[in-house]
Structure 1
Amino acid sequence: MTALTLEDARKGLASQPFSVLLGARVTSFGDGAAVLELDIREDLLQQNGYLHGGVLAYAADNAITFAAGTALGPDVLTGGFSINYLRPAQGIRLVAEARVLHSGRRQATCRCDLYVIGQDGTTTLSAAAQGSVLTRNGPAR
């Protein structure tokens, strides 16, 4: 398998209409890790003014899958994941930092920490997730 690049990851994300709708971007990719970011907008908030949990879950899912792609290749799908919401997410930007914990030939287990950047630049851990990612068509080559 040829190593994927940050540009490959960005093209992959750009091919996902939902990711484009949210304005997500891959800011780091490689060596068993990936970082996905998106700006927090009013239309992504829930009724109490916090970032909607579904947006946090989306970011965790996609960041985990991109991190796994660094080990397994581009033809992967989420096998499942769990997320724990630790603090209400309120700020200007969401940063989802995922890394591979273990990878075999067809599956990787990843962790993702989700941070919110505040108006004043402070960083707050808002959620943590862990998931498994599977290759779609057999082992990576």
Structure 2
Amino acid sequence: MTETNERLERMREYIGGQFHESPSPFMRWLNPIIRAAEYGALTFEFTIREEMTNPMQLLHGGVTAGIMDDIIGATVFTMGFSSHYTTINNNIDYFAPAKAGDIIEARTSVIKRGRQIINLQCELWLIGKSRLLARGYSNMIKLEGRA
């Protein structure tokens, strides 16, 4: 898609750098690097830190879900709608582990945009090994009367 807007252009200013100015405190904690920003698609890079792992020292499934939920939300935000959207469900398949020190890439895309609901996908990949770690889908619903 070739659409653009002020939010998307602002996101593009951070390509190649850390995204410190996210409105999401969780996203700021994740400390991503923006690799690409297109209408309906984002690519962020994350370095797995020890506090992101479970007792087996692997990327915690809840952090994986949080990464997906936040970057999917950022994808919708950068589409420039006047209404807010919120997550109504997440469905995640976990395929492989990541550990502290690993660098992963999250890639989003819009699967279907309806009048009220947008369905999006997020994939997490282990950089350097081209291994798919997880794939998730989420539905975001428009909140009427909120901008």
Return the TM-score normalized by structure 1: 0.79
Q: Distance in 2 between matches of 1:95 and 1:136?
A: 29
Q: Which runs of 5+ in 2 are unaligned?
A: none
Q: Tell me the CA shift for residue 6 of structure 1.
A: 4.5
CA-atom RMSD in angstroms:
2.8
Distance in 1 (CA, whole Å) between partners of 2:31 and 2:79 is 25
For 2:77, what is the secondary structure of its paired residue? helix
Q: Which residue of 2 aligns with 1:100?
A: 110
Letter of the 1:112 counterpart: C
Counterpart for residue 109 of structure 1 = 119
TM-score (norm 2): 0.77
**Partner residue, 1:88:** 97
Per the TM alignment, residue 27 of structure 1 is displaced from its structure 2 partner at its CA by 3.0
Q: Report % sequence identity.
A: 27
- Amino acid in the other structure paired with 2:73: T
Pair 72,132 (structure 1): closer, same or farther in 2 beyond 3 Å: farther
Count residues with an aligned counterpart: 137
Question: Which residue pairs with 2:129 in the alignment?
Answer: 122
- Structure 2 residue 139 is matched with structure 1 residue 136: no
For 2:73, the equivalent position in structure 1 comes to 65
1:4-24 per-residue CA deviation (whole Å, 9 max, x = no partner) reads 314248679622112212213
Query: Which position in structure 2 is the counterpart of 1:29?
Result: 37
Question: Take 2:109 and 2:138, find their aligned partners in 1: how far apart are those partners?
Answer: 10
**Distance change (3 Å), C-alpha of 1:101 and 1:89:** same
Shift of 1:62: 1.6
Matched-pair contact (CA < 8 Å) for 2:111–2:121: yes
Contact 1:29 1:35 in 2 (8 A): yes
Judged with a 3 Å threshold, the aligned counterparts in structure 2 of structure 1 residues 7 and 43 are, in CA distance, closer, same or farther, namely same
SS of alignment partner, residue 14 of structure 1? coil
